[in-house]
Chains A and B, each alone.
Chain A
Amino acid sequence: MSEAVTKKLMLFFPKCECEKPIIYHLVKDHNLIVNVYRAKVTPEEEGYLVLDVTGTEDDIEKGLDFVRTFDVTINTTGKGVARDEERCTHCGQCVSHCPTGALRVGNSATREVVYNEADCIECLACIRVCPFGACASTF
């Protein structure tokens, strides 16, 4: 049996697909473990979902093929929270508020603050505390 891997996905559901239980089928029919970080349905009834899926490469690919049969946009680069490099001054205010170390001082000499999206659990603390408005939610 091949090894389980975890992938972070951001799904966008247009209005027509919002009421379909797609995640249920990912779990039941494709054997995937899902961990939802953040979900939102807008007043226009469009939906956003950021989640991890864990399973074999094969199961994840089949699951994604299943999602693709709907009009759902799959973003595998996982950008639910984005940092604007121009606005970031590397002050480090976010670092003590980030629970996973996704935002951390990457270089002890220059004190540059680095952002590793893969570690972000989308708690949005950085958006609240950044004095320069450098962090923003993509939805």
Chain B
Amino acid sequence: MKTYEQINERIESGKAVVLTADEIIDYVDKKGPAAAAEEVDVVTTATFGPMCSSGCFLNFGHSQPKIRMTEAWIEDVLVYTGIAAVDAYLGATQLRHGDPANMYPPGEFRYGGGHVIEDLVAGKELQLFALSYGTDDYPRREIRTYFTIDDLNQAIMVNPRNCYQNYNVAINDSDRTIYTYMGALEPHRENATYCSAGQLSPLLNDPLYETIGVGTRVWLAGAHGHVYAEGTQHAGVCERTPDGVPMEGAGTLALTGDMKQMRPEFVRGVSLRGYGISLALGVGIPIPVLNEQVLKRTCVRDRDIFAPVVDYSQEYPRKTGKILGRVSYEQLRSGEIQIDGKAVKVGSLSSYYKALEIAHLLADEVRKGDFTLARPYAPLPPDRPMKPLVIREKAS
């Protein structure tokens, strides 16, 4: 048994033993869980993939004379300004003004909110255009100027839903190509897409939310951020394996961090043909080895994690809940799965390569004493199911 304080003392003195969620599996096999739980202080987990529910609050500062900004665009991408003067929220999936979307399907969606966020973090100079109705205290009614992230007072990423605990495997049962947020899916179950770092993914290494909670410090694209709330659609109530590992989406995290501290290679705009824009983000979360139970859960392997295979041509859009079966991440990573006796080629949207890089970067920071752990001040709710949106008549 260790406490957060003891682990942080070891981190600060540069003595912490840190392994990635990938390395810990073999280590525990060799040493046994009891000895390993004594020795190891921290296991680092990570993921890199599209996380659509992401965005950032920006503060531009005031011009002379002042403008309130009731409508604003960065590189022609609309930002939300229904908040205080010169504050804006830029959302990852916002399309650029004039983008034909799916007018001539499949749309290309070359540039949008996710790309603006990538360009901001990369330090590029961007155009701001804003309009206002003019008031006595904010008389300016229009502004066009150029800025970089260094010119902003604040650029704080605030992501309502990141790090899905597990995810669907998407497949296409119809006879035409379909374009989804899981990429292009060829007809007749020609290919399938999954999106999870599997055995490296944060919430799959803490399936019952024993260490990751509200207040947990996270590595968000290189910045030291934190979990500010349960993520939207967080639903701890779901089908689980006997070890508690969810067999569907389940938990999510709401994350925040200072974009000025982020590294551009982990903040990347995403164009999904026929679907839209997103933002791929790298997230690393350290798990404190408080006891043997916590350690054992970090030893989860791809072969023990199962994802539901869902038809995105009919079942997903109609919300029938029907699944075609379950496959393990070990099967998915082999590049081919069997569905009803047919071999299906598998691709991924989540980068295990980048996740592994992040797990190592975070482990190095913890070892050097640069990244200490924060004890959550509230747990993620374990007992909440996912509610549907009911279409109904007005009740009164």
Contact = CB atoms under 8 A, between A and B. Distances in A.
Interface centre among B269, B280, B335 (most CB of A within 10 A): B335
Given A110-B356, A128-B184, A93 B273 contact: no
B335 A105 contact: yes
Contacts of A110: 352-353, 356
B52 to A, nearest CB: 12
A92 B356 contact: no
Given A96-B191, A111-B352, A113-B353, A131 B184 contact: no
A111 B302 CA distance: 13
Given A108-B333, A128-B184, A131-B50, A90 B280 contact: no
Given A105-B335, A129-B273, A132-B270, A93 B353 contact: no
B156 interface: no
B353 A111 contact: yes
A112 B349 contact: no
B353 A97 contact: no
Interface residues of A, number: 20
B347 A97 contact: yes
Nearest to B273: A128
Interface in B258-297: 268-273, 278, 280
B271 A93 contact: no
A91 B348 contact: yes
Contacts of B191: 96-97
Contact of B349 (A93, A113, A128): A93
A44 B271 CA distance: 30
Nearest to B353: A90
B235 interface: no
Contact of B351 (A97, A108, A111, A133): A111
A1 B49 CA distance: 54
Interface in B89-119: 110
Contacts of A128: 184, 273
Interface in B44-60: 48-50
Nearest to A132: B268
Interface string A47-87: 00000000000000000000000000000000000000000
Contacts of B347: 92-97
B48 A111 contact: no
Nearest to A111: B352
A89 interface: yes
Contacts of B348: 91-93, 95, 111
Given A110-B356, A131-B272, A132-B270, A89 B335 contact: no
A90 B268 contact: no
A133 B271 contact: yes
Nearest to B356: A110
A128 B325 CA distance: 29
Nearest to A90: B353
7 contacts: A89-B351, A91-B48, A96-B345, A96-B347, A110-B352, A131-B271, A131-B278
Interface of B: 48-50, 110, 183-184, 186, 191-193, 268-273, 278, 280, 333, 335, 345-354, 356
Given A89-B48, A89-B280, 15 more contacts: A91-B48, A91-B348, A91-B354, A92-B352, A93-B347, A96-B193, A97-B347, A111-B333, A128-B273, A129-B184, A131-B50, A131-B278, A132-B268, A132-B270, A132-B280
